[in-house]
Amino acid sequence: MANVLSDEKKQQVIALGRLGWTLRRIQGATGVRRETAAGYLKAAGIPVRPPGWERRAGSKPAIEVITDFGAGKPAAGVSSDPASPEPYLPPPPGLDATTPAIEVTTDFGVERPGLRASVDLIPPEPTPELTFEPGASKPANGVTRDAELPLPPAEAPAPLGQPLAAELMITGPDAEPAPGPLPAAPPSRSPSASACEPYRELIELALTRGRNAVAIWQDLVSEAGFPSGYQSVRRFVGKLRGVQIPQAHPVIVTAPGEEAQVDYGTGPMVRDPQSGKYRRTRLFVLTLGYSRKSVRLLVFQSSSRTWSELHEKAFRRLGGVVRIIVLDNLREGVLVPDVYDPTLNPLYRDMLAHYGVVGMPCRVQHPDRKGKVEAGVGHAQKTPLKGLRFESLEQAQAYLDRWETQWADTRIHGTTKRQVAAMFAEEKPALQPLPLEPFRYYQYGQRTVHLDGCVEVEAAYYGTPPGWIGRLVNVQWDDLFVRLLDPRTGQLLREHVRQKRGRYRIKPEDYPKRAPLGTLQLLARAERAGTHIGALCQAIHRAEGEVGVRRILGVLALAKKFGLAAVEEACTAALELQVHEYRFVRRYLERRPQAPLSLQQVDPLIRELGHYRDLIQQRMQQQEQQRSLFETVPEAPPPTSPEVQP
């Protein structure tokens, strides 16, 4: 088999095969290829209809007409004399010789009072005579009446299961009755009744649950043994649902300069300069709501900054700014989608505020709100970019700009019935002016305030107001400034100038008046580590204040790495030289030659040799006592067996 199907799909294919469905029909209903379905049907023992089996079936029987005009040469296969024997005609190709043809014989002789019509069907046996009166109802197809013959009254239609008039042979009064009636067909449902009628309750219940016709048909076949096909269920479901009138979609009409819609789409394949391979690009489209003027830009990848920069480029190309931007809930623009209070990306929100624009995200799964830009994306994908590849992003953008100017702007829009360029000329004066300077892009994140009252940004340290130690603050930074913001209100706490790596930037009012509890505990820990270690840490704190907390932590970390004795020695040297710096202690320990390994002879943990001598003698005496105890114990006599009495 070509593929391995799941059990559910396998049972569905087998059920349809048992209903007599063709492989093509099974593929259309289930999505399983015909080759795969044929393999599963053959494995289940179900015959598979070969392709073109309908064309190989036998053709319909021919109709032979015999007409006697009294003169003229009869045609081949036509006899002018009803009394003469009829010539034998071989059956057409593909038709069994035993299958009789439908024969209609008409005699125009004067000696005959009327016409005789005979219709021979399977089997070619004589049947009871049926005649019709003048004025009676129209007989079955293929039966003619002679008005000159007196005919009995018309009979009522045969009941269900009885042979119809077309299945009998209609002859004149000389016909002999048939030896017996034809076998009755098996009873079946009325042609007007649907095969789904016995399952009405199940179908109505499924419709109330929102299931479609395909799912309902599959459930009926799997669970209820439904014998008919999907089309029966589809027609029955359509009758139950009634005629559904499509709802009209309102057209959003905006004033000039009021609104623009933005969205991403899939761009063309462009060769990546880094990898040298073709890579799929992203198509950014901004469409004005009034004139439908669009700006289309291509990029390789997207981010919050790229998304905002594309807006700025579009604003500069348009020469102005709209008041409202309608966007989708993509991550670059919206962090938390919400119907009433969505959370915009901070960088994107500040960029829009810089240009005086309000961002309005659509409702989730409601893209119809920005249908104008959706149409603009599809227009670019289907018309200028379809099937094209470019060697560079600049080449692709130049081609797209040329098409935009030559074709997109000069077209007559299908909704407005006006030229796009003419409508944009009317809308451009209504756009807001661009600001004097562009938006300053920044990076943002969250930082925890350390014990020294500073946060670390790009390996530099910036002070916060008092009371923020251990709390989170939002940080924004660019090439010039670092801004600290309250995470709850967004209020600016401090703004500092960027510093080099390892430098501090603290305002004078942010220095603490006294050491906080955490710093005091840290100094006490240094005192316990060593006398000179504690003295050096106190000197660092007096000289640098809270900034020196990190250096005190560094001194204690050196004690874990090099040992308390070595750090104590280094701190002693630092105090003697009056160099109260962490860096001096670290370099002293790194460049200090390591002392040779020597074993101490006297130590509180090392016992004297006399203890080991006494312990050995005590153990030897215990072993001798145990040995002598076993030697003095007499051996017991061996057991004797009792005498056996004779």
Helix axes of 531-544 and 549-562: crossing angle, nearest 10 degrees: 160
Residues 6+ apart with CB under 8 A from 642: none
CA 100, CA 118: separation in Å to the nearest integer? 13
Mean pLDDT across 213-231? 91
Q: Is the pTM of this model over 0.95?
A: no
513 or 174, higher pLDDT: 513
Say if CB 282 and CB 218 are below 8 A apart.
no
CATH number of 443-510: 2.40.50
Calculate what percentage of the chain has a pLDDT beyond 90: 38
160 or 558, higher pLDDT: 558
pLDDT tens profile 303-327: 999 999 999 999 999 999 999 999 9
The tokens describing 146, both together, are 């002679």
Say if CB 233 and CB 203 are below 8 A apart.
yes
The tokens describing 199, both together, are 């399952």
CA 224, CA 328: separation in Å to the nearest integer? 45
pLDDT tens profile 403-421: 999 999 999 999 999 999 9
Q: What is the DSSP string of 536-584?
A: HHHHHHHHHGGGGHHHHHHHHHHHHHH-HHHHHHHHHHHHHHT---HHH
pLDDT tier at 598, thresholds 50, 70, 90:
low
Q: How would you classify the pairing of strands 454-457 and 504-505?
A: unpaired
Q: Can you list the positions of beta strands (E) in 77-231?
A: 102-107
Strand partners, 505: 462
pLDDT tier at 283, thresholds 50, 70, 90:
very high
Residue 638: per-residue pLDDT: 57
Say if CB 94 and CB 111 are below 8 A apart.
no
The tokens describing 238, both together, are 């359509």
Domain residue limits, the chain: 7-52, 59-148+166-172, 198-241, 261-430, 443-510, 517-591
Residue 100: per-residue pLDDT: 44
pLDDT, averaged across the chain? 78
Residues 6+ apart with CB under 8 A from 110: none
**At residue 81, does pLDDT exceed 70?**
no
Residue 160: per-residue pLDDT: 38
CA 506, CA 547: separation in Å to the nearest integer? 9
Mean pLDDT across 40-62? 67
Strand partners, 260: 288, 325
CB-based contacts of 86-89 (< 8 A; 24+ apart in sequence): 89/64
Residue 166: per-residue pLDDT: 37
Of 289, 330, 287, the residue nearest 307 (C-alpha): 330
Calculate what percentage of the chain has a pLDDT beyond 70: 72
Mean pLDDT across 491-512? 88
Cα–Cα distances in angstroms (integers) from residue 60 to residues 50, 88, 120, 185, in the given order: 21, 19, 14, 22
Of 18, 398, 460, 49, the residue nearest 228 (C-alpha): 18
Amino acid residing at 76: A
121 or 637, higher pLDDT: 637
The tokens describing 278, both together, are 């073709």
pLDDT tens profile 340-380: 889 999 999 999 999 999 999 998 878 788 999 999 999 99
- The torsion angles phi and psi of 316, rounded to 5 degrees, stand at -70, -35
Cα–Cα distances in angstroms (integers) from residue 300 to residues 305, 373, 450, in the given order: 13, 20, 39
Residue 639: per-residue pLDDT: 55
Q: SS3 sequence, 186-236?
A: CCCCCCCCCCCHHHHHHHHHHHHCCCCHHHHHHHHHHHCCCCCCHHHHHHH
Residues 6+ apart with CB under 8 A from 569: none
**At residue 153, does pLDDT exceed 80?**
no
185 or 415, higher pLDDT: 415
Mean pLDDT across 440-452? 90
The number of residues making up the chain comes to 646
CA 208, CA 312: separation in Å to the nearest integer? 50
Mean pLDDT across 172-201? 59
What burial class does residue 278 get, using C-beta atoms within 10 Å of its C-beta: 0-12 exposed, 13-18 middle, 19+ buried? middle
Helix axes of 7-18 and 34-43: crossing angle, nearest 10 degrees: 80
Q: Is the dihedral of CA 412, 415, 417, 418 positive or negative?
A: negative
CA 560, CA 589: separation in Å to the nearest integer? 12
pLDDT tens profile 375-399: 999 999 999 999 999 999 999 999 9
Of 414, 473, 478, the residue nearest 443 (C-alpha): 478
Residue 89: per-residue pLDDT: 44
pLDDT tens profile 225-282: 898 899 999 999 988 887 667 777 778 899 999 999 999 999 999 999 999 999 999 9
Cα–Cα distances in angstroms (integers) from residue 257 to residues 75, 351, 410, 425, in the given order: 86, 19, 20, 11
Residue 249: per-residue pLDDT: 75
pLDDT tens profile 526-549: 989 899 999 999 998 888 877 788
Residue 151: per-residue pLDDT: 41
- CATH among 3.30.420.10, 3.90.226.10, 1.20.1050.10, 3.30.1490.20 for 261-430: 3.30.420.10
Residue 9: per-residue pLDDT: 87
The tokens describing 22, both together, are 């063709």
pLDDT tens profile 15-44: 898 888 889 889 888 888 888 888 898 888
